[in-house]
Amino acid sequence: MPGIAGPSFRRALPTTDGVRNRSPVTSTASQQIALITGATKGIGYATARELGKRGHVVFVGARDPERGMKAVTDLSEEGIDARCVRLDVTDLATVEAAAAYVDTEFGRLDILINNAGVSLDRPHRPSGLPVAVLRAIYETNVFGVVAVTNAMLPLLRRSEAGPILNVSSELGTVSFLTDQATLTAQNALLLGYNSSKAALNAITLVYAAELHDSQIRVNAVSPGFCATDLNGNRGIRSAEEGGASVARQALLADTPTGVFIAEDAVPW
């Protein structure tokens, strides 16, 4: 049975005796409350599934209501306490509403995973990428992360842990972008995607510095080259493997803050 829907989903759910459908009531004292943006498919969905299988409550951040409810239904059928919340990272109103909804339901957030991302470069070369497309990439990959992080910080401060994981890419590391051997590689020419992930890495370090004296760890995590819709389902790893990697890092208790965590041990 689907979990609780976010504010924009409530009318779509059937009710019984005036109470909207929701997952069985469970104690959250020993559970972690996680929110994953862009969690209706790919790495985001796989991350939600991995965290849910470990007994945690997962908020599926969904830009599209129907996809969000489908994801929650599928997760719930596996016994996962999944909740659907409308969250378009480029729409500040939905970001703020999502934070208010989590606050109303649990009063805290234990894990934030900024996973939503887009790659709109192809088929353009850097010199031919329309500025409007570049702006659209940054709206999701950069500004959206800032908007969600700022909205969720008050909830994360109420957690005993409160890690923030920004799903990044090795393509945005200085080590990749300055490697002469990669200059002719096809993926080196993704002006919007690569530069936005480089900006995300910088944002990660800035937040880590601001929050260094708190319990909140802020890190970038690269699940590696996973086959997803974002890259035309090309990749040497599956989305499930990528999600397992992200979930594993989210649950580590002794990870330092301000680090780039990559499956292939690539430096910043």
Domain ranges of the chain: 7-262
Asked if the model's pLDDT at residue 17 lies above 80, the reply is no
Average confidence (pLDDT) over 141-163: 97
Q: Tell me how far apart the alpha carbons of residues 239 and 130 are, in angstroms, rounded to a whole number.
A: 29
**Rounded to two decimals, what is the model's pTM?**
0.86
| Percent above pLDDT 90 for the chain | 70
* Catalytic residue annotation: 193, 197
Name the CATH topology of 7-262: Rossmann fold (3.40.50)
Q: Which of 85-99, 101-115, 180-194 has the lowest mean pLDDT?
A: 180-194
Q: What is the pLDDT of residue 19?
A: 27
Give the residue-averaged pLDDT of 208-215. 97
Residue at token pair 């009318």: 11
**What is the mean predicted confidence (pLDDT) over 101-126?**
96
Q: Cβ contacts of residue 29 below 8 Å, gap of 6+?
A: none
Give the separation between CA 106 and CA 131, rounded to whole angstroms. Answer: 41
**Which of 95, 96, 113, 136 shows the shortest CA–CA distance to 50?**
113
- Residue 254's pLDDT is what? 82
Give the model's confidence band at 240: pLDDT under 50 very low, under 70 low, under 90 confident, else very high: confident
